[in-house]
């Protein structure tokens, strides 16, 4: 048994929160953690991890490895390697594969395919059969197969489908994911509607495309009960609607992408195709509101929204290029840098990372058996800058150590399945 010494454990509620800890490692697997004891025996394999902070293993609730369907953009095995480089102990691949994940056999298959990797898989099943938005999937059978949440990776267009989904899944205890975007409002828009889109001559998506859908979904939740999760919020007004709903007592959770905490629509000037997103980057005021929500607890999670492109999808004009950023490897450093830029202290940023990447995703999923004082996986993050590694083969991998605002680096991740060190 070896001891790997971390500078501090960042897990509010744990008796060792804020203290240096020794990670107990047996055969390259995490076996537990203890208060610092004695001197490390480096000759026997003990390691001092310097200023690295230990977090309960990070979970990402929205990644797309394009598998099956467009495996050559990334693929599951390659994607899980990139996830480990990003410090993630678990990731939730989206259900919008081809075919989509709407059968129990597909849930079982993705579990089996991920068994040999350090990073585990959180199965998300399709909410509707074929993702067609007409008929609910057989949720009970999918839950028995291991599904933890339900999402079409798209807006739920029919109010009646969302109502029935919330009522049915409420009895199962599984959250329903509903994308906050109304595809029938400004359907031709491809970036935030504002000064920048006007200067570029690009059709815009006003914030109302998001807030109209958020308010509708909250009204349905208020009527039906259940648990609603809004995966990506991009606007200040959207955040305010959710904040008010939480104060009202509605069972709603929400997230945003790390990209929306880093960039704004102005970064698209010059037709920067690398930052084109399906849920668009908005103004500096919106970004500031999202950063504040990340610090005050309104945001429950931050996701990578990892969307690798093929070369053909990437090498196209701005108007037609496939949206998305392949940034799973960089979530921690981008998030740390964004919140520091907002003026938060190191302690507040560390606490926010713990909530948004560790405990928040577990709460969204209602995961049982993992109380806050139990650590079954560890992500190690250093606030000192260093190399930002990614094995992603996608051409839209935009983050590197030279990217503006990047702060810190992932040192490694330890799980019961093994370890990955950067």
CATH number at residue 77: 3.20.20.140
Give the pLDDT of residue 389: 86
pLDDT in tens, 267-297: 999 999 999 999 999 999 999 999 999 999 9
Question: Does 371 have pLDDT greater than 70?
Answer: no
Q: Is 305 annotated as catalytic?
A: yes
Rg (CA), the chain: 21
Whether 243 is covered by a domain: the verdict is yes
Give the pLDDT of residue 375: 86
Q: Average per-residue pLDDT in the chain? A: 95
Integer angstrom CA distances of residue 59 from 119, 332, 379, 393: 9, 11, 10, 22
Percent of the chain with pLDDT over 90: 90
Nearest to 378 by CA among 38, 30, 56: 56
**Average pLDDT for residues 363-372, to the nearest whole number?**
70
Q: Binning pLDDT at 50, 70 and 90, where does residue 302 land?
A: very high
Whether 247 is covered by a domain: the verdict is yes
| Pair of tokens at residue 217 | 């979904």
Whether 360 is covered by a domain: the verdict is yes
| Pair of tokens at residue 126 | 């399709």
Whether 128 is covered by a domain: the verdict is yes
Q: Which of 46, 286, 305, 348 is catalytic?
A: 305
390 Cα distance to chain centroid: 17
Strands (E), 157-300: 176-177, 191-192, 204-205, 228-230, 252-257
Number of domains composing the chain: 1
Give the span between the Cα atoms of 81 and 79, in whole angstroms.
Answer: 5
Give the pLDDT of residue 151: 98
Whether 45 is covered by a domain: the verdict is no
Give the pLDDT of residue 325: 97
Give the pLDDT of residue 372: 53
Question: Does 369 have pLDDT greater than 60?
Answer: no
Backbone phi and psi for residue 379, each to the nearest 5 degrees, phi listed first: -105, 130
Which residue segment(s) compose the domain that 274 sits in? 57-372
Count of alpha carbons within 13 Å of 378, Cβ hemisphere only?
A: 32
Whether 5 is covered by a domain: the verdict is no
| Pair of tokens at residue 386 | 């260093």
User: What torsion, rounded to 10 degrees, do the Cα atoms 222, 240, 94, 320 define?
Assistant: 120
List the beta bridge partners of residue 306: 63, 325
- 42 versus 410: which is more confidently predicted? 410
Whether 180 is covered by a domain: the verdict is yes
Whether 200 is covered by a domain: the verdict is yes
Percent of the chain with pLDDT over 70: 98
Strand, coil or helix: 311: helix
Give the pLDDT of residue 120: 96
**Average pLDDT for residues 397-404, to the nearest whole number?**
91
């Amino acid at each position: 048994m070896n001891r790997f010494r971390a500078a501090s454990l960042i897990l509010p509620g744990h008796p060792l929160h804020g203290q240096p800890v020794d990670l107990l490692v047996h055969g390259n697997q995490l076996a537990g953690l203890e208060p610092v004891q004695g001197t490390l025996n480096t000759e026997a394999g003990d390691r001092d991890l310097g200023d690295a902070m230990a977090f309960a293993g990070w979970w990402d609730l929205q990644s797309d490895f394009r598998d099956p369907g467009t495996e050559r953009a990334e693929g599951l095995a390659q994607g899980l390697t990139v996830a480990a480089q990003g410090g993630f102990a678990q990731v939730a691949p989206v259900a919008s594969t081809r075919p989509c994940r709407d059968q129990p056999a597909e849930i079982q298959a993705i579990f089996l395919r991920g068994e040999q990797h350090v990073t585990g898989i959180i199965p998300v099943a399709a909410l509707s059969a074929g993702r067609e938005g007409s008929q609910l999937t057989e949720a009970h059978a999918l839950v028995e197969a291991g599904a933890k949440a339900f999402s079409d990776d798209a807006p739920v267009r029919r109010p009646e489908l969302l109502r029935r989904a919330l009522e049915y899944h409420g009895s199962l205890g599984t959250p329903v994911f509903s994308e906050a975007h109304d595809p029938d409002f400004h359907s031709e828009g491809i970036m935030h509607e504002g000064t920048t889109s006007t200067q570029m001559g690009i059709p815009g998506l006003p914030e109302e495309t998001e807030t109209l859908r958020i308010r509708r979904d909250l009204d349905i939740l208020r009527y039906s009960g259940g648990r609603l999760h809004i995966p990506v919020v991009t606007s200040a007004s959207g955040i305010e609607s959710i904040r008010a709903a939480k104060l009202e007592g509605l069972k709603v959770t929400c997230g945003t992408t790390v990209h929306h905490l880093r960039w704004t629509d102005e970064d698209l000037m010059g037709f920067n195709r690398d930052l084109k997103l399906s849920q668009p980057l908005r103004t500096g005021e919106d970004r500031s509101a999202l950063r504040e929500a990340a610090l005050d607890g309104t945001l429950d999670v931050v996701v990578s929204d990892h969307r690798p492109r093929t070369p053909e999808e990437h090498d196209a004009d701005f108007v037609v290029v496939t949206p998305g950023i392949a940034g799973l490897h960089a979530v921690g450093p981008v998030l740390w840098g964004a919140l520091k830029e907002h003026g938060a202290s190191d302690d507040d940023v560390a606490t926010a990372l713990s909530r948004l990447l560790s405990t928040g995703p577990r709460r969204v999923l209602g995961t049982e058996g993992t109380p806050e004082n139990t650590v079954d996986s560890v992500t190690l993050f250093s606030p000192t800058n260093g190399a930002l590694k990614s094995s992603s083969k996608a051409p839209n991998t935009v983050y590197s150590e030279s990217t503006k605002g990047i702060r810190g680096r992932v040192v490694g991740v330890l799980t019961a399945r093994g370890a990955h060190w950067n």
